[in-house]
Amino acid sequence: MEFLSMIGGATGSLFLTLIAFLVVLTVVVFVHEFGHFWVGRLCGVGVTAFSIGFGPELIGWTDKKGTRWKICAIPLGGYVKFVGDLNAASIPDQDQLDRMPVEQRSISFPHQNVAKRAAIVAAGPIANFILAIAIFAGFNYFNGRAVLEPRIEAVQPGSAAEKAGFQPKDLILTVDGRSIQTFADMQLLVSSSAGEPLAFTVERNGQTVALTATPNFVERTSPFGKQRIGLLGVEASRDPSAIKRLTYSPWGALKAAVVETWNLVERTINFIRRLVMGVESADQLSGPIGIARASGTAFDIGGVYSLVSLIGFMSVSIGLINLFPIPLLDGGHLLFYAIEAVRGRPLSEKAQEIGFRIGFALVAMLMLFATWNDLVHLGTSFMSRGS
């Protein structure tokens, strides 16, 4: 029971955590799969199934066009199955294709040209990005944003900022050539650049000063588990005049949402780059248990508002991950289609089968590793409670 209450996150309620987790995952998965479904229908492809979850069907119905809409027992994803697909991974069923009547081939996914197939596959991740942008734009337009100007109130002794020569009252203008408008803009760049030198320009007493600082590694615990971030060691100005309330027109809210979404993509790619280089640790990766705890914590802290924000964040993550060029994921299909477009013919059935097997193994290992990380984090949390 202690284990289950720990999964419950800050709420201590397993029920609320599970509900929050299912809401987050269901919305993100539904939008992703609906992107595939909608573009597939536009391209005239028949859809045999639209599933939220895997495994045994819990509830479902069949629409007028023969698509089986269903919710299944294992809520860790979903799929759209088109006419001609062998399974949920959209692997072609060659035997079925060979026996398929000529009139049915026009609605078969494998018989579409490579441009249509690529558009249908890419529509899933694109739908995720659109969802995130819509959420962030809505928050920007209806709530605006309270931001701090990037002015330094104090420099922590012994910090990277002190070593670099930062001083109180400095106004940060740029970081590595990128314009800084808010204190959060600076924090975003610094937190993802631990151990890497950054070039700063600051305004000091009416003059521009160039500084170079290398953020220190700091380990912190978040709702997603352990994270290592970069820390400069400066405090934001406490002067009330440093707080600005930004309001947005509809167009301005949309532009700011696109920037916010791109920042999340860029930060994720940077983390992966640093992970491959050995700078970041893989124990920061979280799986389903970590996402469930984050969902419960978000709902407990900020209610529906925080939960919707988490949906936006998760939608960007799911969309980006699915674009990785790993067979089985959408990016793997797009890679195969790119090769087909260059060669003028698809890869052999055997080559595609080997690719999908490798992709399945990679995805399965990643899921197991992330789940193991979640269990280790739960164990650490349990030990800290006991002490």
Please name the residues in contact with 173: beta carbons below 8 A apart, sequence gap of 6 or more. 150, 179, 180, 201, 202, 203, 208
Beta bridge partners of 69: 50, 61
Please identify which of the residues 33, 103, 149, 353 carries the catalytic annotation. Answer: 33
Q: Catalytic residue at 196? A: no
Of 101, 102, 104, 84, nearest to 93 by C-alpha is 84
Pairwise CA distance, residues 84 & 257, whole Å: 38
Task: Indicate left, alpha or beta for 127 from its phi (over 0: left) and psi (-120 to 50: alpha).
Answer: alpha
Pairwise CA distance, residues 245 & 316, whole Å: 26
Four-point Cα dihedral 196, 199, 204, 207, nearest 10: 170
3-state secondary structure of 272: helix
The kind and range of the H/E element at 58 are: strand 47-62
Pairwise CA distance, residues 12 & 251, whole Å: 41
Using CA atoms, how far residue 192 sits from 124, 177, 257, in Å, is: 28, 16, 20
Pairwise CA distance, residues 11 & 301, whole Å: 9
- CA dihedral over 54, 55, 61, 66, signed as positive or negative: positive
| DSSP code, position 85 | B
HSE-up of 169 (CA within 13 Å, CB side)?
4
Cβ-contact 131, 31 below 8 angstroms: yes
Of 386, 332, 385, nearest to 362 by C-alpha is 332
Q: What is the set of active-site residues?
A: 33
